[in-house]
Amino acid sequence: MKKPWGLAVYSGLALVFLMIPIVYTIIFSFNDSIRSNTVWEGFTVRHWTNACARADVCEALGNSIFIGVVSTLVATILGSAIAIGLVRYRFRARAAINLALFLPMATPEVVLGAGLAAFFFNLGFPSGMLTTILAHVMFCLSFVVVTVKARVQTLDPALEEAGRDLYANPNQVFWKITFPLLLPGIISAALLSFALSFDDFIITYFNSGSVSTFPKMIYVAASRGVPAEANVIASSVFLFAIMIVLVVQITGSIRRKRLSKMA
């Protein structure tokens, strides 16, 4: 059987193409630049030792983290409750709610951002931190519901029935059985929600007003070269994400080996 060299070459080229901007970001985080970061000026690690040398970079990062954490908490709590209700209960508006939850995912972000901005303006809400958080909750909620809903549908009702047979009340059944089983899906939904919120630019641009976030700061600075401090933060986020993936994969592999030995 011939090896699919064409597929291997294509996959390798696609991987290289995807990695180019990441490698560029990491390399230019070590660039000895002061104002413009578009031309290589020399190697230095001073940007890594003092990533907050530019106050606007760390201020934008702090705003993005705050908005991401708050919107993730709200969207995860509401979305998990909605997902459980849609799977476990039958009511008249169930089909309409299922359809409505997919609309923010299917709507182009520029349309959603402009629509939310007009909505807040008509209500008299000034653009700022609050409107940004509400907008992020709006589009993150759908992703949370879809993720948690898939987890709820896989639960075995016999486990909860066994808890009730052992005289556990509804609260005990939920917190001792249902919630631990749903927790992996809820955590996955929360991580996805935070990533979407932290990374969002279009909806944020329409609804944030004078509040600076990390994507907005990058957009404004792109014409003269993204500051090296911003490249440091972006590289750190990427390396942190890779570390999390490696830890999860390694711990999962160790757990599977232990279970196979016990079997």
pLDDT-based confidence at 237, cuts 50/70/90? confident
Q: What is the pLDDT of residue 203?
A: 93
Q: What are the chain's domains?
A: 9-47 (no CATH), 55-230 (1.10.3720.10)
* pTM (predicted TM-score): 0.83
Q: What is the pLDDT of residue 79?
A: 93
pLDDT-based confidence at 80, cuts 50/70/90? very high
Q: What is the pLDDT of residue 57?
A: 83
Q: For residue range 14-36, list pLDDT tens digits in order.
A: 988 988 888 888 888 888 877 77
Q: What is the pLDDT of residue 224?
A: 67
pLDDT average, residue stretch 66-70: 95
Residue closest to 190 by CA, chosen among 40, 70, 52: 70
pLDDT at 77 over 90: yes
Q: For residue range 171-211, list pLDDT tens digits in order.
A: 888 888 888 889 989 998 999 999 999 989 999 999 998 89
Are the CB atoms for 111 and 149 separated by under 8 Å?
Answer: no
Task: Identify the bridge partners of residue 31 per DSSP, sorted by sequence position.
Answer: 43
DSSP 56-92: HHHHHHHHHHHHHHHHHHHHHHHHHHHHHHHHH---T
Q: What is the pLDDT of residue 116?
A: 92
Task: Please measure the distance between the N-terminal and C-terminal CA atoms of the chain and give it in whole angstroms.
Answer: 36
Q: Who's near 38: CB < 8 A, 6+ residues apart?
A: 224, 225
Q: For residue range 43-59, list pLDDT tens digits in order.
A: 888 888 887 877 788 88
Separation in Å, CA 49 to CA 34, 168, 228, 238, 246: 15, 55, 12, 18, 25
Longest dimension (CA), the chain: 71
Q: For residue range 154-171, list pLDDT tens digits in order.
A: 888 888 888 888 888 888
Q: For residue range 112-162, list pLDDT tens digits in order.
A: 999 999 999 998 888 899 999 999 998 899 999 999 998 898 888 888 888
pLDDT-based confidence at 245, cuts 50/70/90? confident
Q: Report the chain's mean pLDDT, rounded to a whole number.
A: 86
Amino acid occupying residue 146: V
